[in-house]
């Protein structure tokens, strides 16, 4: 996928005019890019459209219109766009109660490295987590992580030939496997591999 450039972005005024429609389109698109991993975790797969929306929103919220500020946003979000051989996702651990969330984040140390996808009968592909910065410490993990799943050519070909896709977590304190992933999500993620 091509990275976003300044030329791809709308001015603050242009974005203001189309924001509601653009947001509705992006929210519809995102419904095909979310995998719930049990009741307390989810993967939100990013792509060019989700990142353009994020950048436009940041520019709007922060009232950024100068070249350096726009470049900073592009530099921050472009790495989350898939490169054609991988998927990039935001992984969220979602416990609504604060005390339970704190306890679970302590018991799920390292969970971000135990999230996986699996194509057909191929080996599981475990996530490469938080390449931008460390989000965990020795005592607890973070509720939000950025993950990359690197697929080999055989896996990509298998997906293009109709192989099923599974995803899950294989952590001693949280195990779940979703198989097969719904076809609308599989089809959306397949588009990232061109």
pLDDT digits (tens, 9 = 90+) for 168-187: 999 999 999 999 999 999 99
Q: How many CA atoms lie within 13 A of 105 on its CB side?
A: 22
Tokens coding 103: 């306890």
Q: What is the second-level CATH architecture of the domain 33-45+82-194?
A: Sandwich (2.60)
**Token pair listed for 17:** 């005019």
**Distance (Å, rounded) from C-alpha 24 to C-alpha 181?**
24
Q: Mean pLDDT across the stretch 95-117?
A: 93
pTM recorded for the entire structure: 0.89
Numbered ranges of CATH 2.60.40 in the chain: 33-45+82-194
To the nearest 10 degrees (0 to 180), the angle between helices 153-160 and 183-190 is 130
């Amino acid at each position: 996928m091509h990275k976003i450039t300044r030329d791809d972005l709308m001015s603050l005024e242009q974005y203001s005019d189309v924001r509601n429609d653009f947001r509705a389109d992006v929210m519809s698109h995102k419904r095909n890019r979310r995998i719930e991993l049990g009741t307390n975790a989810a993967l939100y797969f990013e792509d060019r459209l989700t990142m353009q929306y994020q950048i436009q929103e940041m520019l709007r919220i922060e009232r950024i219109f100068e070249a350096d500020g726009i470049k900073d946003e592009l530099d921050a979000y472009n790495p989350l766009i898939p490169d054609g051989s991988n998927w990039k996702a935001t992984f969220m651990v979602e416990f609504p109660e604060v005390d339970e969330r704190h306890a679970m984040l302590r018991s799920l140390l390292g969970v971000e490295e135990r999230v996986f996808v699996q194509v057909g009968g191929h080996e599981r592909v475990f996530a490469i987590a938080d390449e931008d910065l460390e989000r965990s410490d020795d005592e607890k993990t973070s509720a939000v992580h950025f993950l990359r799943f690197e697929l080999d050519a055989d896996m990509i070909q298998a997906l293009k030939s109709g192989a099923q896709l599974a995803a899950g977590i294989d952590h001693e304190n949280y195990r779940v496997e979703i198989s097969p992933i719904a076809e609308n999500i599989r089809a959306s993620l397949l588009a990232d591999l061109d």
